[in-house]
Chain A
Amino acid sequence: MKMTGAQAIVTSLEKEGVELIFGYPGGQVLPLYDALYDCKLRHVLTRHEQGAAHAADGYARATGKVGVCFATSGPGATNLITGIATAYMDSVPMVCITGQVPLSVIGKDSFQEADITGITAPITKHNYLVKNAKDLPRVIKEAFYIARTGRPGPVVIDVPKCLMTTTIDFEYPETVQLRGYKPQAEGKPAEVEAVAQALAEAKKPLFFVGGGVINAEAAPLLRRVVETHRIPVIGSLMGLGAIPVTDPLFLGMVGMHGTVAANRAVMECDLLVGIGVRFDDRVTGLLARFAANARIAHFDIDRAEVNKNVVADLAVVGDLRWSLAALESAMADLGGEGGRRWEDWRLQVTRWSEEAPLSYQKSDDVIKPQSVIEEIDRQTKSEAVIVTDVGQHQMWAAQYCRFQRPRSFITSGGLGTMGYGLPAAIGAQMGQPNEPVVLISGDGSFLMNCQELATAVEHQLPLKVAILNNNVLGMVRQWQKLFFNQRYSYTRFANGGTDYVRLAEAFGATGLRAETPEELPEVIAKALATEGPVVMDIRVCADENVLPMVPAGAPLDQMINGEVK
């Protein structure tokens, strides 16, 4: 079938089952937008390309599908970079299609030209500069395959404008042939048996679950193994929701702002089984002291994660759906006895949970940020999809929301991207239109991409935004307080900050404000009951720290305010 390159791109996306594209047009991508004009694909115009990338990312995290975004060449494409890097760090499947200047003027420093494949090489799973229009269908087929298989990640396709107007014979390939890319779902059964054996010998086993479990849709499988053998579990930030936070076997998040029980369990366990985790430095603290008494087993689909940060005694490389199923059968021999075997250990860790729960000083005079999270969690019955930005509010959300299921917590973990929240929440809400989506943000983060409120209003998304407004860059201030002698250098917004109610109204959203603890429940209830996007300006006290805290580079048992009572 004869069609232009632009039509070929659109048709290929339809063949991949794409329903939604986030993007922003511009000169070099105009023919593609022209082709969008007569097709069924839904395109959402964000107000910034960074918003498009984060929205595609939020959509992908909420649905498990590949997120797609478009941008033009040069500044359009470079504006995607933060979003691409965010997706790369958290292994989010994404395909970004960028316009490029025509082939004849590539390399001449042409208007709006940037070497986008060069720039994105370190932050993409793969990228393409397409040189021939007839390659477009194959490249798109490959890009989706690469983005969604193995360890997921973002793929960039850079398309020179001239290719979009060239006529080609369209034929969509049915299979992908890549010599250098053959993800192996199944690993070696002997490796799994070794872990089962180690579990049988362990006295204090501990499961450590990460985002890989959610990516692999392996949470139900994991839950079964955990419930059958009653093994205590800790989670990384990205792993929250894999096991219901309310499960007594779940000790909470581990690491810098982890719970006392989770961090102590790491220090005391004799077998730590990492499942879909990458042992980030925010998790491990001082590497030399991390799980120092334990053998370490590591399940991951990416071989390069094994021994990257923490040296593993046992490793299982493969898709978690395969490896956890294999572990389940290998552990069947342990039978119900497994549950009894670790009773002492289980009692010990649950005692830590009871003796040192997450807590904060309550107040009747000022709104405590933690209480905002608790109230949102209570009023949404822990059923909302919670999206966050980055900073103190993000850690409080991780600590105080009672996540019940995978994909209910959407946050920038690896890159820690301020400004991620609002566009990601838009993507998540569009991917899950029937789920309540609540963005918990800080005033600093929210300002970084607040223009996307216009997008939320345009589509009348039922999205609710809670800004924990303390008029400071809270997490930076916390570090200044604890580690820089309270020298608060440039972390307070001048003139009392921004009026978020009026900002919301200027964009056509509803703005609400809570200034006292009594007002808080009402404001949240009103926001949840109001149609369309609502922004809550919640004035919280500024001098509040995220605790407990392990200082960067310290061992996990060196927690500020982490005493067991």
Chain B
Amino acid sequence: MRHTIAVLVENRPGVLVHIAGLIARRAFNIESITAGYTEEADVTRITIVVEGDNRNLEQVVNQLSKLVDVIKIVELTAEPLIERELALIKVKARPETRSDIVDIVEIFRAKIVDVNRETMVIELTGEETKIDALCEVLADHGIVEMVRTGKVALSRKPGAAKDSE
């Protein structure tokens, strides 16, 4: 099973490496990891998606909790949750296929952020499955290259992760 966890850490150099290193050396697989500032400048929020059963997850959380720079860990999987990922997809776009692609972009409520004679770059923010679906449709036109950010997630509950029990 896949678990999404939010890890609040001290915003210090090397902290992301430390977190990722700990998970890797305990032999847990990281599906995605993202990091960025939060509403508090000295706190970084790292969103990690790991694959494993509940006991694996318990170990990941307990081991991460031991790191002095880790302020808080919240398992988000069980909560009502907003999950988003951002993708930039460069797709082959000849004049005769362009309108096709524009239609697809419309349907997915994605955005065309760059066009030239041979390609277009499409931006899409959404749940992982939605991005997967867009990629699948665009694959028919030929994806030149793409980049995805990995998942970020926020609980729908009122209040912040840092304050939760």
Contacts and interface: CB of A to CB of B under 8 A. Distances in A.
Nearest to B18: A121
A180 B14 contact: no
A181 B72 CA distance: 10
Nearest to A308: B59
A311 interface: yes
Contacts of A307: 55, 58-59
A179 B65 CA distance: 12
A43 interface: no
Given A180-B10, A307-B58, A121 B21 contact: yes
A31 B4 CA distance: 48
B14 A179 contact: no
A369 to B, nearest CB: 37
Nearest to B58: A307
Nearest to A153: B66
Contact size range, A: 10 to 19
Contact of A180 (B13, B21, B58, B67): B67
Interface string A488-529: 000000000000000000000000000000000000000000
A129 B45 CA distance: 22
B88 interface: no
B21 A311 contact: no
B41 interface: no
A122 interface: yes
A1 interface: no
A62 to B, nearest CB: 26
A125 B68 contact: yes
B59 A304 contact: yes
Given A179-B71, A180-B70, A304 B65 contact: yes
Given A304-B59, A307-B55, A308-B59, A181 B14 contact: no
A146 interface: yes
B9 interface: yes
Contacts of A180: 9-10, 67-72
A303 interface: yes
B41 to A, nearest CB: 14
Interface of B: 9-10, 13-14, 17-18, 21-22, 25, 55, 58-59, 62-63, 65-72
Interface of A: 117-118, 121-122, 125-126, 129, 146, 178-181, 302-304, 306-308, 311
21 contacts: A118-B17, A121-B17, A121-B18, A121-B21, A122-B21, A125-B66, A126-B67, A129-B13, A146-B68, A178-B68, A179-B10, A179-B71, A180-B10, A180-B69, A180-B71, A303-B62, A304-B62, A304-B63, A307-B55, A307-B59, A308-B59
Given A121-B21, A304-B62, A304-B65, 16 more contacts: A117-B14, A118-B14, A121-B18, A122-B21, A126-B67, A129-B14, A146-B68, A180-B68, A180-B71, A181-B68, A304-B63, A306-B62, A307-B55, A307-B59, A308-B59, A311-B55
